[in-house]
């Protein structure tokens, strides 16, 4: 897929759309000035000139951009997928840009996620050994392999390492790596277009089938049904299945017993929070890569790695983010006044507000409610109160949806959190949002955007 060509097409479509409307001016100012950067994991990354530009686009044009990209790509490639759009400024985007192009024909495998780059410690040694065993002898040892653990602990890295390793041994291996969300939305699209056969063929022919974050399986019966049959077909054919989740199967809402019991046929590998030594080792492993993508040549004092590792014990992605931030900040300081190396002074000032939020914030019902309110720019007493107008009712329903999805509160308890609403109101709201999520691109983007903010 040539992103520049697709972008031209997207612009042409939007221009037509906005012609002679009040949005024409916004189009020229905010959309035409964006730069397409890269595509990864069904997400298009666009670069904005500065923070204000980024905010404007984020607030107003994300859904239409995502929708137009999806259309343009599907017309160009014949593959129907829902693409998300992420806008950021250059420095942020450079950090997350993939190092090199993924191998042709293999979708969504990041070549940087290998066993070699995976640091093994007590917290993950079992999951690592099981993954290796699977990659060495797929379909025979542990099938399915179910990897679970908290956010940012290396589940995706390990899965992709299995894929990369099998591919290295045999470039013709048919590998499917898909997020559960994409699986579900692709299926719904296939049903809509009466194209289920192609969908089945694609997934049921894999040699290695990996599905990431199964906790996001939707309530729709068709998705669970399809997953169940895909699972059976592959398993019977001796093909390897790898599934990840943030929790053990029996704790995943919406997962039926028959799927849970199939997951139990294989092996469960839990990843725990890494200990301090492992965190330092991971940062040390990542350092050359981070220096490379940030274009920094400055040495980093060992103390700095220890300091960052001491700040958070439950999310490696955050630790990497902290290290990147320090290195970028140091780069700026160095331009101004050359420095010898990155020391604790620079680190402390760069990270002065970095760890504040994650350490005090856990995802509580109150946190979700307040975040949804902030997102829609309404007050908490609005959502808890009696108002029924759309500006308030929709955020309230979305808050209910997230409370149901993320916390383990039941409908009744959710109603209590939101001003004593009854069980059926909450249930109805959750179903409604879920249905819209599955059927409307706009709702999907909205929900995904909020979800990302909740977890970030």
The residues that touch ligand ADP, with contacts defined as CB under 6 A, are 117-119, 124, 151-157, 282, 285, 316-317, 320
Minimum CB distance to ligand ADP smaller for 42 or for 153: 153
Minimum CB distance to ligand ADP smaller for 161 or for 259: 161
Residues near 4 by beta carbon (within 8 Å), at least 6 away in sequence: 36
Angle between helices 390-406 and 423-439 (to 10 degrees): 90
Minimum CB distance to ligand ADP smaller for 98 or for 139: 98
Interaction of residue 182 with Mg ion, rule CB under 5 A: no
Minimum CB distance to Mg ion smaller for 317 or for 428: 317
Q: Binding residue for Mg ion (CB under 5 A) from 68, 70, 156, 180? A: 156
CB of 154 to ligand ADP, least distance (A): 3
Alpha helix (H) ranges present in 237-379?
Answer: 257-263, 276-294, 302-311, 316-336, 344-350, 356-360, 365-376
Minimum CB distance to ligand ADP smaller for 221 or for 362: 362
Interaction of residue 160 with Mg ion, rule CB under 5 A: no
CB of 112 to ligand ADP, least distance (A): 7
| Contact stretch for Mg ion (CB under 5 A) within 152-160, 165-173, 394-402, 408-416 | 152-160
Alpha helix (H) ranges present in 170-216?
Answer: 180-192, 196-204
Angle between helices 423-439 and 180-192 (to 10 degrees): 70
Name the one residue in this structure whose structure tokens are 């054919």.
Answer: 237
Helix (H, G, I), strand (E, B) or coil at 146: strand
Minimum CB distance to ligand ADP smaller for 119 or for 328: 119
| Contact stretch for Mg ion (CB under 5 A) within 3-11, 149-157, 364-372, 443-451 | 149-157
Interaction of residue 314 with Mg ion, rule CB under 5 A: no
| Residue 70 interface partner, choices ligand ADP, Mg ion, none, CB cut-off 5-8 Å depending on type | none
Q: What is the DSSP annotation of 402-419?
A: HHHHHS---HHHHHHHTT
CB of 150 to ligand ADP, least distance (A): 7
Tell me the CB-side half-sphere exposure of residue 275, using CA atoms within 13 A. 6
Rg (CA), the chain: 23
State the Cα–Cα distance between residues 291 and 23, nearest whole angstrom.
Answer: 41
**Contact residues for Mg ion, defined by CB under 5 A:** 155-156
């Amino acid at each position: 897929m040539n992103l520049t060509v697709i972008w031209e097409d997207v612009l042409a479509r939007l221009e037509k759309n906005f012609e002679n409307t009040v949005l024409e001016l916004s189009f020229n100012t905010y959309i035409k000035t964006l730069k397409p950067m890269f595509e990864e994991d069904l997400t298009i990354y666009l670069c904005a000139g500065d923070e204000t530009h980024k905010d404007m686009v984020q607030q107003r044009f994300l859904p239409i951009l995502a929708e137009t990209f999806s259309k343009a790509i599907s017309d160009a490639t014949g593959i129907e997928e829902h693409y998300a759009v992420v806008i950021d400024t250059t420095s942020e985007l450079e950090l997350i840009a993939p190092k090199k192009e993924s191998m042709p024909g293999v979708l969504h495998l990041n070549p940087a996620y290998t066993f070699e780059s995976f640091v093994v410690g007590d917290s993950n040694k079992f999951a690592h050994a099981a993954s290796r065993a699977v990659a060495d002898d797929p379909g025979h040892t542990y099938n399915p392999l179910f990897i679970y653990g908290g956010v940012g602990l290396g589940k995706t890295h390990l899965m992709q390492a299995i894929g990369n390793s099998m591919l290295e041994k045999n470039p013709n291996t048919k590998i499917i790596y898909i997020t559960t969300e994409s699986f579900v939305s692709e299926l719904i699209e296939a049903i809509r277009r009466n194209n289920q056969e192609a969908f089945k063929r694609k997934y049921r022919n894999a040699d290695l089938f990996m599905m990431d974050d199964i906790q996001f399986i939707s309530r729709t019966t068709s998705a669970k049904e399809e997953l169940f049959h895909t699972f059976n077909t592959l398993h019977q054919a001796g093909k390897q299945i790898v599934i990840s989740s943030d929790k053990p199967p029996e704790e995943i809402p919406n997962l039926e017993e028959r799927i849970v019991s199939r997951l139990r046929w294989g092996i469960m590998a839990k990843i725990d929070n890494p200990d301090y030594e492992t965190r330092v080792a991971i940062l040390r492993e990542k350092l050359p890569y981070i220096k490379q993508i940030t274009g920094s040549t400055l040495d980093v004092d060992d103390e700095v790695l220890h300091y960052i590792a001491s700040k958070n014990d439950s999310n490696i992605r955050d630790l990497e983010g902290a290290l990147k931030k320090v290195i970028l900040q140091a780069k700026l300081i160095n331009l101004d006044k050359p420095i010898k190396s990155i020391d604790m002074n620079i680190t402390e000032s760069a990270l002065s507000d970095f760890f504040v939020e994650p350490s005090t914030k856990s995802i509580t019902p109150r946190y979700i409610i307040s975040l949804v309110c902030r997102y829609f720019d309404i007050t908490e007493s609005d959502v808890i109160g009696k108002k029924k107008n759309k500006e308030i009712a929709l955020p309230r329903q979305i808050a209910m949806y997230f409370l149901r999805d993320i916390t383990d509160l039941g409908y009744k308890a959710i109603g209590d959190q939101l001003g004593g609403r009854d069980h059926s109101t909450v249930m109805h709201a959750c179903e409604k949002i879920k249905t819209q999520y599955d059927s409307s691109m706009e709702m999907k983007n909205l929900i995904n955007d909020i979800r990302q903010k909740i977890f970030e």
